[in-house]
């Protein structure tokens, strides 16, 4: 349930740094791996910027 909590916060636009603190992780990289952000999610973020 904790992973889902972090994942849904991230998908709803909550900043990674805040999620990192809420989950008590030592780095954003750990948080991204923990909440299982996939490459597709990363690609979609770049596309949404219009780059």
pLDDT per position as a tens digit, 2-51: 889 998 999 899 999 999 999 999 999 999 889 988 777 788 888 999 86
Q: What is the pLDDT of residue 8?
A: 92
> pLDDT at position 43, please?
84
Provide the pLDDT for residue 51: 67
| Total domains present in the chain | 1
DSSP string, 1-49: -HHHHHHHHHHTT--HHHHHHHTT-SSHHHHHHHTT--HHHHHHHHHHT
Domain that holds residue 25: 2-48
């Amino acid at each position: 349930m904790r992973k889902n909590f972090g994942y849904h916060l991230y998908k709803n636009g909550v900043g990674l740094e805040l999620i990192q603190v809420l989950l008590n992780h030592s780095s954003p990289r750990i948080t991204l791996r923990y909440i299982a952000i996939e490459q597709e999610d990363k690609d979609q973020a770049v596309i949404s910027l219009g780059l």
